[in-house]
């Protein structure tokens, strides 16, 4: 029940995408997100769909895993779709009670839904094919220029990589604690809101204690190995672009070109 969180959940198979440099994937995700916001007609979205489908195929990650992240935004999706559907001015198609549905509304809602879904699935491709560590390495390196203006890029990247690393651990821990309390007759499902909130206490207390303990242990372990921030730190596996990364950048350029062309032509 807790394993539904895909964000930060690496899917360990071997594929071109998995081997790609994280910076390439980060940039690609950004390009893709920008392209989604540029898209303003059906053909653009079709191109975005084809691109996404091709990338998913390349990633060797089952589709069911890709769409799992959608569950988390289902509510958001419903709200934004209904707002667009009912609140857009324009030519009226039909009317349910006092709610007017317009042609423009349907169009907007449809695009909004597709855009959101592509956005989430698109970013899932990155998180499923990149370990959190690679991801933060990529971020740190890509944003390295900010160090010049005293932005603590390394520290932020470190915080992020630790946070990401801890998510699956804490999920697993939650699962164990839940089981231990269920063995003592706990019931996390039934009851009203107050009852449910109360029943979370036996789950949250051990979880917090464990999280704090892990944090102190980790801090100790880092100090014991003389961690002192990013200054002068070298990497065991420095990031280096390979042929597939250049090929990827070319693909991005081509994709963006197609997208802009479709946007102006139609």
Partner 1 sequence: MAIKVEDLTYVYNAGTALEQKALDGVSFEIPDGQFVGLIGHTGSGKSTLIQHLNGLVKPTGGKIYYNGEDINGEGYSLRQLRSKVGLVFQYPEHQLFEVDVISDVCYGPRNLGLSEDEVRERAQAALRLVGMKEKYWDQSPFELSGGQKRRVAIAGVLAMNPEVLILDEPTAGLDPRGRDEILDQVRALHDARGMTIILVSHSMEDMARYAERLLVMNHGRKAFDGTPKEIFRHYRELEQMGLAAPQVTYVIHALRERGVELDEDITTVEEARDALLEALRTGRR
Region of 48-56, 100-108, 175-183, 225-233 interacting with partner 1 (CB under 8 A): 175-183
Q: Does 176 bind partner 1 (CB under 8 A)?
A: yes
The CA distances from residue 98 to 94, 215, 237, 250, in Å, are: 10, 54, 62, 51
> How is residue 149 annotated by DSSP?
G
For the chain, helix, strand, coil in percent to 5 are 70, 5, 25
Name the token pair of 168.
Answer: 């699956």
Three-class DSSP category at 8: coil
Give the number of other Cβ atoms within 10 Å of residue 21's Cβ: 20
Q: Which of 37, 74, 89, 185 binds partner 1 (CB under 8 A)?
A: 185
Among 108, 177, 248, 259, binds partner 1 (CB under 8 A): 177
User: Restricting to residues 1-20, which ones interact with partner 1 according to CB under 8 A?
Assistant: 3, 11-13
Q: Which stretch binds partner 1 (CB under 8 A): 21-29, 58-66, 72-80, 215-223?
A: 58-66
CB of 164 to partner 1, least distance (A): 18
Point out which span in 24-32, 56-64, 107-115, 147-155 binds partner 1 (CB under 8 A): 56-64
Q: Which run of H or E residues covers position 262? A: helix 243-265
Instruction: Decide if residue 201 touches partner 1 (CB under 8 A).
Output: yes
Half-sphere exposure of 26 (CA within 13 A, CB side): 15
Cβ closer to partner 1: 43 or 65?
A: 65
Q: Which residues contact 231 (CB under 8 A, 6 or more apart)?
A: none
Binding site for partner 1 (CB under 8 A): 3, 11-13, 61-62, 64-65, 173, 176-177, 179-187, 201-202, 205-206, 209-210, 213
């Amino acid at each position: 029940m807790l394993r539904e969180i895909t964000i930060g959940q690496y899917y360990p198979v071997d594929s071109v995408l998995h081997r790609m440099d994280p910076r390439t994937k980060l940039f690609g995700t950004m390009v893709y997100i920008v392209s989604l916001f540029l898209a303003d007609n059906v053909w653009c979205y079709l191109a975005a769909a084809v691109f996404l489908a091709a990338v998913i195929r390349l990633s060797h990650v089952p589709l069911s895993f890709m769409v799992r992240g959608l569950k988390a935004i289902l509510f958001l999706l419903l709200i934004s779709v209904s707002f667009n559907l009912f609140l857009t001015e324009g030519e009226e198609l039909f009317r349910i009670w006092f709610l007017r549905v317009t042609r423009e509304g349907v169009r907007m809602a449809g695009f909004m839904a597709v855009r959101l879904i592509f956005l989430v699935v698109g970013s899932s491709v990155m998180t499923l094919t990149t370990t959190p560590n690679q991801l933060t390495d990529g971020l740190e390196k890509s944003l390295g220029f900010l160090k010049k203006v005293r932005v603590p890029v390394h520290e932020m990247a470190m915080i992020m990589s630790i946070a990401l690393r801890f998510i699956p651990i804490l999920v697993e821990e939650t699962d164990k604690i839940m089981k231990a309390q269920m063995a003592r007759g706990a019931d996390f499902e039934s009851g009203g809101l107050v009852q449910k909130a109360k029943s979370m206490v036996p789950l949250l207390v051990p979880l917090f204690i464990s999280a704090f303990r892990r944090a102190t242990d980790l801090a100790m372990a880092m100090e014991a190995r003389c961690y002192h921030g990013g200054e002068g730190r070298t990497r065991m596996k420095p990031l280096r672009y390979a042929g597939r990364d250049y090929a990827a950048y070319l693909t991005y350029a081509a994709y963006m070109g197609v997208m802009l062309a479709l946007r102006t032509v139609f």
